[in-house]
Amino acid sequence: MRHDRAGASAPFPWDVVMHVGFYLLRLSSRDFWALTPVEFLLMTGAARPREMAAGRAELDALMRAFPDVGVGAAMSDLHPGPLPAGG
């Protein structure tokens, strides 16, 4: 049983887990039900380390490499020609 942020019990999300196992990972029923929770997490990539967000130095370097166009630039200055549909 899982708990939400307020501490209340929430049912295990079998629909999501089964969707990932059967549809996305294309596991057979036999292989799916034989997995341990750790094996399942490893297969889904949930156990990989998360990448660190860029720090201030990296952000400053990107801002120098790709400066913003001058203040007040019109959209036509940034994108010559007609804008794509829906944009």
- Tens digit of each residue's pLDDT (9 = 90 or more) over 15-69: 999 999 999 999 999 999 999 999 999 999 887 777 777 788 888 998 899 888 7
Look at residue 84 and tell me if it is in a domain: no
pTM value?
Answer: 0.47
CB 35 within 8 A of CB 43: yes
pLDDT of residue 73: 55
Where do runs of H (alpha helix) occur along 14-86? Answer: 14-18, 29-34, 37-44, 56-65, 75-78
Look at residue 81 and tell me if it is in a domain: no
Look at residue 76 and tell me if it is in a domain: no
pLDDT of residue 33: 96
CB 66 within 8 A of CB 54: no
Domain enclosing residue 57, as ranges: 1-64
The total domain count for the chain is 1
Look at residue 74 and tell me if it is in a domain: no
CB 77 within 8 A of CB 83: no
**Residue whose entry in the numeric block shows the structure tokens 């959209």:** 75
